[in-house]
A = this chain, B = another copy of it.
Amino acid sequence: MIEAQLLRLRRRDVVSAAEEAALRGAVREVREIAADACLVREGQPLKDSILLLDGWLARSKGLANGVRQITALHICGDFADLHGFTLGYLDHDLVTVAPSRIALVPHDRLQAITEKFPHLGRLLWFTTNVDAATHREWSLSLGRRSANGRIAHLFCELFVRLALVERTRGDSFDFPLTQDEISCCVGLTSVHVNRTLQELRRQGLIQLERRELTILDHGRLRQVAEFDPAYLYLEKRKI
C-alpha cells in the first residue's frame, strides 16, 4: 500500500524491517478523492499528514486577484504535507489535480516515530528537505529560466521522479495537468504555455496528447532546461 513511499526511501537509505513496520502502522485510514478537490485549505489546523498512494496533488497559493501559483506537484509515494506535522497548518492549499488515493497519518504517530525511531525520523526530515530543494529549483525556473526552459525543466523533473517510483513507460508517462495548470506551475499564462508547448513539439523534444507525455529527446530537452537532477538527491546515503 505504501510501497511507493518505501521504494522512494530505500533508494536513498536503508529502512529496517522495524522501521517499515512503524511506517505501515502509522497509517490511520485510506481514502479515494476525485480530481479538482481541495484536501487541505491554507491555515486549517491539522492532525494528520497525507501520504499520496496514487494520483496527483498540487500545493497551490493565490493572490487577491485570483491568480494562482502552484509551488509543488506531488506524485505517488510523496508525503504531500509532511511539513504540516511540525508547522501545524499549511501556508498553501493542497488540491487534487487527478483522481487520487491517499493515506492519512496522524501526527501523534509521527511524533512517536521521532521518539522511537530517530533514524526513520531523520529520513522523513530528509524528504521534507528534498521538497525544499525542489522549491529552490523551481525558484530558479521562475526567476531566471525562459518559458521554454521552465516547461522543459518541469518535464525533466517529473520524468525522473516518476521513474523513481516506476510510473514511467519507456519515455512516456501519464500527465494529467491541463495547460492552465501547467501555467500555474511555471508562472506564465495558459496562452503562452500553449505557444511554448507548440515550440517544444516543433523542435521534436516532446509529444503531449490525451494526457500522455512522451519525451522524444532527453538530451536536448535537458539541455534546453539546463536540468541537473542533483537537487533531487537520488544517491544512496547514510542519514
Q: Is the interface of A mostly helix, strand, loop or mixed?
A: helix
Chain B residues within an 8 Å CB radius of A136: 59, 61, 71-72, 91-92, 135
> At the interface, yes or no: A64 with Cβ under 8 Å from chain B?
yes
Chain B residue, CB-CB nearest to A107: B239
Interchain nearest-CB distance for A179 vs B (Å)? 16
Residues in B whose Cβ lies below 8 Å from that of A59: 136
Q: Say yes or no: is A194 at the interface (Cβ < 8 Å to chain B).
A: no
A130 at the interface (CB under 8 A from B): yes
> A-side interface residues toward B, CB under 8 Å?
42-43, 59, 61, 63-64, 67-69, 71-72, 83, 86-88, 91-92, 111, 114-115, 118, 121-123, 125-126, 128-133, 135-140, 142-145, 184, 186-187, 226, 230-231, 233, 237, 239
